Amino acid sequence: MKMLKLTLCHLYPELLNLYGDSGNVLTLVKRCQWRGIDVNVINHNIGDKTDFKDVDIFFIGGGADGNLGIACNDINSIKPQLEFAIEQDRVLLAICGGYQLLGKYYKGKRDTVDGLGLLDFYTEAADKYFVGNIVVDTGDYYLVGFENHMGRTYLNGLNPLGHVISGFGNNGKDKTEGVRYKNVIGTYLHGPLLPKNPKLCDEIISIALKNKYNIEDLQELDDSLEIKARQHTLKSINNKFISFA
């Protein structure tokens, strides 16, 4: 049987990597390799002339306001390639600051950063950080993570990734967390997100395999360790949440 291979592009790995966000790339790679699926990881940094046409999964992490400002010019220069990829149903996972850059703008405490405008939402910094563990109900499964952001994101009617069970989410008011449009997944969940959320990680891998090879089934893995990690965080928030593991 031909070796299955996916290409993952990590956008601005040195610049946007808060609270272990690059661990999401490691998790995607390992959960593919454990299934005998090869993964080619391409790093795209400021000024790189990267060929994005064969990328199956894009990843962008979070960052401090200043780093978002540094990334914004370069990411706007690759907007056409990202738009094309999104319309081709490729996966884009964006965490916190990287998520904010997908919208129209991020109005920080000092400067306003022009977002890509790929999605019709906006973010404005408030006076205090939303910090702490967070639990989100996507409707299919629960996500567990850690949030730490000044930004308040308003979706303008776009579908959220999920609804906040515990924590703050997009803006601490409308109980939405993140955004989901086609295979674009934006979220405030750091941690990193994917090691403690194997169902989301496997959903991303499944989408990429379906797009590239029209493969529907994904081999199950032993997630007992991941479930223990989820239970630990859920119990630390509220004993009643243990059933969400």
Catalytic residue ranges: 96, 190
Pick from 11, 121, 124: nearest CA to 70: 11
Does 193 contact ligand GLN by CB under 6 A?
no
Contact flags string 133-162 toward ligand GLN, x per CB under 6 A: ---------------xxxx-----------
Toward ligand GLN, which CB reaches closer, 66 or 80?
A: 66
Least distance from C-beta 55 to ligand GLN, angstroms? 22
**Size, binding site for ligand GLN by CB under 6 A:** 11
Does 64 contact ligand GLN by CB under 6 A?
yes
Judged by phi (left if over 0) then psi (alpha if -120 to 50, else beta), residue 98 lies in alpha
Segment holding 180, helix H or strand E = strand 179-181
Does 97 contact ligand GLN by CB under 6 A?
yes
HSE-up of 129 (CA within 13 Å, CB side)? 11
Q: Is 164 exposed, middle or buried (0-12, 13-18, 19+ CB in 10 A)?
A: buried
The residues, any chain, with a CB within 8 Å of residue 66's CB and separated by 6 or more, are none
State the residue number with the nearest CB to ligand GLN. Answer: 62
Least distance from C-beta 15 to ligand GLN, angstroms? 11
HSE-up of 227 (CA within 13 Å, CB side)? 9
Pick from 117, 7, 106, 118: nearest CA to 62: 106
Quick one: which segment of 31-39, 58-66, 177-185, 231-239 binds ligand GLN (CB under 6 A)?
A: 58-66
Place of tokens 């029209």: 214
Quick one: which segment of 56-64, 156-164, 177-185, 192-200 binds ligand GLN (CB under 6 A)?
A: 56-64
**35 within 8 A of 68, measured Cβ to Cβ:** no
Does 65 contact ligand GLN by CB under 6 A?
yes
CA distance 172 to 71: 26
**211 within 8 A of 205, measured Cβ to Cβ:** no
Does 29 contact ligand GLN by CB under 6 A?
no
Least distance from C-beta 99 to ligand GLN, angstroms? 8
Toward ligand GLN, which CB reaches closer, 146 or 244?
A: 146
Does 115 contact ligand GLN by CB under 6 A?
no
Least distance from C-beta 44 to ligand GLN, angstroms? 18
Does 229 contact ligand GLN by CB under 6 A?
no
Q: Which of 6, 9, 18, 208 binds ligand GLN (CB under 6 A)?
A: 18
The residues that touch ligand GLN, with contacts defined as CB under 6 A, are 18, 62-65, 96-97, 148-151
